[in-house]
Amino acid sequence: MKKDVFITGLASFFPNSPVSNDEMEEFLGLISGKHSKVQRIVLKQNGIKRRYYALNKNQKITHTNAEMAMLAIRKLLALTDKGQKDIELLACATATPDQILPSHASMVHGLWEEPVEIFSSAGVCLSCLQALKIAYLSIAASEKQNAICSTSELVSAMLLSKNFDIEYERCCNLGTNPYMALEKDFLRFMLSDGASCALLENHPGEKGVSLKIEWIEMDSYANETPTCMFAGAVRREDGELKSWKSFESQGLVNESLMVIKQDIKLLGTKLMPLWIRHIKSCLNKHGMSSEDVDYVIPHSSSMVIYNNLIEAMKNESFELYKKEWFTNLTWVGNIGSSAILAALDEFSSTRKLKSGEKILLLVPESGRFSYGTVLLSVV
């Protein structure tokens, strides 16, 4: 018999002091010594006013990804009066691990003092719900009594100017225009560092608000769509990816292969229709209507996408747009897989939630277009 599962604690960690729009290039550096031509445009569209970097102005890393994850976990343990020895499963998600091998969860666990079962979820933004579902299912199946879902991102180190300089200079020497403004440079002004986590248990917490996980649904549309967001590869003319493994060592540098790239045109045509399709499918599967939801917390990379989602719902007479929505994007930044739990953490700690209220979490991933939805009930 399936056991009920509850989120009994949430915590977030953001490194250093918040970075304003005017300070960004002081931390990330100037590509070939020049200010970005797209920065103002990108910031106007994404609406982000500040973000956090695990960097100093000398472009040195101040916290590893694993360290940020552990700092959030320690905060969570203190808030919930738990010790490391009490935790039965550690499920970790990130899109930006500190290394290719070993797993990110191994590196986070390396900062613990106690043995524990671990699970690593890789991917982009949806990796958070993949880790959350592993934790949820482990408890629902009575295999574990509790688990921590950890999410963290250290993306700023991939956005440093040193990662772009050689490609920029090479393109200039060839007499071509470096194609970074759309695919690469704009992402330097979209992303942020941070960590968030949740404690899941088979009973409500003894203090504060607990959130019962009613269901977690995910859909991938990779079978229908080309790759949109990627790193460690370049896109071939036929639309498929050429892996970093196929390049000579100098090619890795010449192509800025390890920086994150995104196809904006593809994002604009595919993201929203598939997202609406996924959300409707989830509600239909569980026999729900918009009336059954009280709050909506979406993860979005920009306020343009946030507002476009609401507008798309209006255009389709999808009444979910009438509910109370929440985002902390503009003052926290886009922290990828960590965004949804960080938003839920802030929302639940700043609202007087009532028993029985329903919260819908919405997470899109533009890697190759996959989506996740979670329904929570306030206990």
Tokens 């009066």 locate to 81
Whether the Cβ atoms of residue 270 and residue 228 lie closer than 8 Å to each other: yes
- The three state secondary structure string of 151-198 is EEECCHHHCCHHHCHHHHHHHHHCCCCCCCCCCCHHHHHCECCEEEEE
pLDDT more than 70, % of the chain: 95
Of 181 and 241, more confident: 241
Nearest to 1 by CA among 139, 141, 135: 141
Q: What is the DSSP string of 303-362?
A: HHHHHHHHHHHHHTT-GGGGSEE---HHHH-B-GGGHHHHHHHHHHHHS---TT-EEEEE
The answer to whether residues 69 and 97 touch, using CB atoms and an 8 Å cutoff, is no
Whether residue 10 is predicted with pLDDT greater than 80 in this model: the reply is yes
Contacts with 282 (C-beta within 8 Å, 6 or more apart), sequence order: 217, 373
State the Cα–Cα distance between residues 104 and 315, nearest whole angstrom. 41
Task: Record the pTM.
Answer: 0.95
User: Average pLDDT in the 239-249 region?
Assistant: 93
Mean of pLDDT over the chain = 93
pLDDT at 62: 98
Give the containing element (helix H, strand E) for 140: helix 127-140
Q: In what order do the strands lie in the sheet with 324-325?
A: 117-122, 89-94, 146-153, 194-201, 6-13, 211-220, 370-378, 358-365, 295-298, 324-325
Question: pLDDT, tens digit, for every residue of 83-108?
Answer: 999 999 999 999 999 999 999 999 99
* Nearest alpha-carbon partner for 345 in 364, 371, 326: 326
Quote the pLDDT of residue 174. 47
Question: What span, in angstroms and rounded, lies between the C-alpha atoms of 367 and 130?
Answer: 15
pLDDT at residue 70, rounded to an integer: 98
Q: What is the pLDDT of residue 173?
A: 53
Residue 183: pLDDT above 70?
no
Task: List the domains of the chain with CATH numbers.
Answer: 1-16+52-155+191-218+264-379 (3.40.47.10)
- 296 Cβ neighbours under 8 A, 6+ residues apart: 320, 323, 324, 325, 326, 359, 360, 362
> Phi first, then psi: what are they for 285, rounded to 5°?
-60, -35
Does the pLDDT of residue 179 top 50, yes or no? Answer: no
pLDDT value of residue 34: 86
Which has the higher per-residue pLDDT, 235 or 337? Answer: 337
Residue 181 pLDDT: 45
CA angle 217, 222, 228 (to 5 degrees): 110
Which pLDDT tens digit goes with each residue over 26-65?
999 998 888 888 899 899 999 999 999 999 999 999 999 9
Q: Which of 190, 193, 173, 207 is nearest to 6 (CA)?
A: 207
Which tens digit of pLDDT belongs to each residue from 145-165? 999 999 999 999 999 998 887
For the cut 60, the answer to whether the pLDDT of residue 175 exceeds it is no
For the CA atoms of 132, 134, 135, 138, what is the dihedral angle to 10 degrees?
A: 150
The pLDDT confidence band at residue 361, using thresholds 50, 70 and 90, is very high
pLDDT at 166: 67
Identify which of 357, 305, 340 has the alpha carbon closest to the alpha carbon of residue 190. Answer: 305
Contact 155, 195 (CB under 8 A): no
Alpha carbon separation from 340 to 125, 189, 288 (Å, rounded):
9, 19, 22
Residue 36 confidence (pLDDT) = 87
Segment 294-337, tens digit of pLDDT:
999 999 999 999 999 999 999 999 999 999 999 999 999 999 99
Least confident of 61-75, 94-108, 184-198: 184-198
Residues 193 and 160: their CA atoms lie apart, in Å, by 13
pLDDT score, position 180: 47
Q: Which helix (H) or strand (E) holds 375?
A: strand 370-378
Q: What is the percent of the chain with per-residue pLDDT over 90, rounded to a whole number?
A: 84
Backbone φ, ψ for residue 312 (5° rounding): -65, -35
pLDDT band at 207 (very low <50, low <70, confident <90, very high): confident
Rounded to 5 degrees, φ, ψ at 254 are: -60, -35
Rounded Cα–Cα distance for residues 229 and 259 (Å):
11
> How much is the average pLDDT of 180-194?
78
Of 172 and 185, which is predicted with more confidence? Answer: 185
Tokens encoding 108:
């986070």
What's the average model confidence in pLDDT over 206-233?
A: 96
